[in-house]
Structure 1
Amino acid sequence: MRFASLGSGSAGNGLIIEHSATRLLLDCGFGLRDAIKRIARLSLEPDTIDGILVTHEHDDHTHGVFKLANKYRIPVWLTHGTYASSQKFLPKQQDFKLHIIDSHQAFSIGDLHVQPYPVPHDAREPVQYIFENGSHKLGVLTDAGISTPHIEAMLSGSDALILECNHDLEMLRKGPYVHSLKQRVGGRLGHLDNDSAARLLQVLDNRKLQHIVAAHLSEKNNQPALVSAALSQSLNCEEHWIGIAQQAEGFDWREIK
């Protein structure tokens, strides 16, 4: 199994996961042309994507989902709440299949086993996902205000983790956001801060962990160095081992062996 990012942050998110003959896209928060360019950067063609999974309806995750799906006839999986809240993005002439999923019910797409799980975020019915191929497990958590015992159970034992580190608490407090936005971002339905992500890591079973990539960093309220310091302390590893997903470049292919 391998995975790579099209970009990560408030301006757009997208993650490619593939195993054997199956290639999936998790979210697409980029315009159609931009998404195609970002997919090409990974030496891929959009028509080779077998499915698009959606976490929630916010623009930075769904902006390009339905345009890409419609142009290349790629099926889409999403919760009923996300579907109901994404009507503005749906094309009038729909040329792709929509699959409504249960936020607790696992399913398979080709060679990949997919487990959605609910998360606390200010969206209609948000989920995150676990991807497995029978031997390895990739856990993804972004866009969650707090951790929960269920989140910990889902992510524990992963071979690779993509973990939100949206903001540094002090930078958010002193930063340029208006008070209401600071409360939203830092609230229980907002985004994980560096310290909360580090505490989450401490309670997981990380014995098989090969990759850790911090994602969804705020450009105004965080710095990669702060993220690396916080997560490396939790994992007792060198700071350079902590991967950082960038907004412009995402990150290149990482393989789980």
Structure 2
Amino acid sequence: MKKEEAFKVSILASGSTGNALYIESDKKKFLVDAGLSGKKITSLLGDIKRSPADLDGILVTHEHKDHIHSVGILSRKYDLDIYANELTWQAMAKNIGTIKPEHQHIFEMGKTKTFGDMDVESFGVSHDAAAPQFYQFQRNNKSFVILTDTGYCSEQVRGVVRNADAYLMESNHDLSMLRMGKYPWSLKQRILGDKGHLSNEDGALVMGDVLGDKTKRIYLGHLSRENNMKELAHMTMENSLKEQGLGVNHDFKIYDTDPDQASELFSI
């Protein structure tokens, strides 16, 4: 890693069918979530020339299956440490199987943990899970924020994540596609509610509020297969930020993610 770089990151998978992200510094390598099969995550890591055997642990955001599918499998196979807050541990315990006590770690919401040469700050979000939290990674005065799976973004969270160098920001659904789609009304209400997911429009408004002079990369995450399209999410974010007078494709760039294909390993 070059001296001026703080992290290398790949969004291994992002979407309603499974989520996993890889981040490394000079001294540490982590997954955030493991919402696909162990075999698929191993394959995606291989695509960026990395291996589960090299990981220092997995940070868990919340207990939904598309975030924890192979957390237990990978921990048992590779002796990996798992980090989650106490309520998330309780909620996911029955779905991840037995984890060795020495690999079970509490990461309290609103706290910062230091792992080697990186600091990781957790912050709570509004989602229909036990105690959902996401993470900001900090090193060498640079930061990377993951913010998906939230129905709205509070002023407190906006303050925590403001002016990061790069973001994975939720663009879950297009409002018209969701409202006109085949989902039952109860599920539509859940997605649209304060504990659901950010729409393309809402994600763009949050992004416009929190990005700053340091921001260079915005990745659009957790797109719904049924109620969104990459082109639509990208266009909505781009147009909204331009309307807010922000320097799209000049000061920063917008990138798409994929539900089953790793992004290139990028540097922050």
Per the TM superposition, whether the score is higher than 0.5 is yes
Quick check: 2:200–2:233 contact (8 Å CA) kept in 1? yes
Offset of 1:223 from its aligned partner? 1.2
Between the aligned residues of both structures, percent identity stands at 32
Q: How does 1:1-257 map to 2 (within 5 A)?
A: 1-92=7-98, 94=100, 97-233=103-239, 234=241, 235-238=246-249, 241-256=253-268
Q: CA deviation at 1:250?
A: 3.4
Distance 1:133 1:170, change over 3 A: same
Q: Deviations over 1:181-229 (max 9, x none)?
A: 1111111000000110111112124211111100000011011122112
Letter of the structure 2 residue corresponding to residue 156 of structure 1: R
Runs of 4+ deviating beyond 4 Å: none
Give CA deviations for 1:25-52 in whole Å, capped at 9, x if unaligned: 0000011212211111111111111111
CA distance in 2, matches of 1:204, 1:95: 38
Structure 1: how far apart are the matches of 2:103 and 2:116?
A: 15
Q: Gaps (5+ residues) in structure 1?
A: none
Indicate conservation of the 8 Å contact 1:112/1:131, yes or no.
yes
Stretch deviating more after TM superposition (124-133 or 224-233): 224-233
Cα displacement string for residues 149-181 of structure 1 (whole angstroms, at most 9, x for unaligned residues)? 012112101000110000011110001111111
CA distance in 2, matches of 1:236, 1:92: 49
- TM-score, normalized by length of structure 1? 0.95
CA–CA separation in structure 2 for the residues paired with 1:119 and 1:182? 20
Partner SS for 2:136: strand
Query: What amino acid maps onto 2:59 in structure 1?
Result: L
Instruction: Tell me, in whole angstroms, the C-alpha distance in 1 between the residues paired with 2:48 and 2:101.
Output: 25
> How far 1:241 sits from its partner (Å)?
3.3
Q: Please say if residues 8 and 246 of structure 1, whose CA atoms lie closer than 8 Å, have aligned partners that are also in contact.
A: yes
Cα separation, 2, equivalents of 1:254 and 1:198 = 22
TM-score when scaled to structure 2? 0.91
Instruction: Please give the secondary structure, in 1, of the residue aligned with 2:75.
Output: helix
| CA RMSD, Structure 1 to Structure 2 (Å) | 1.6
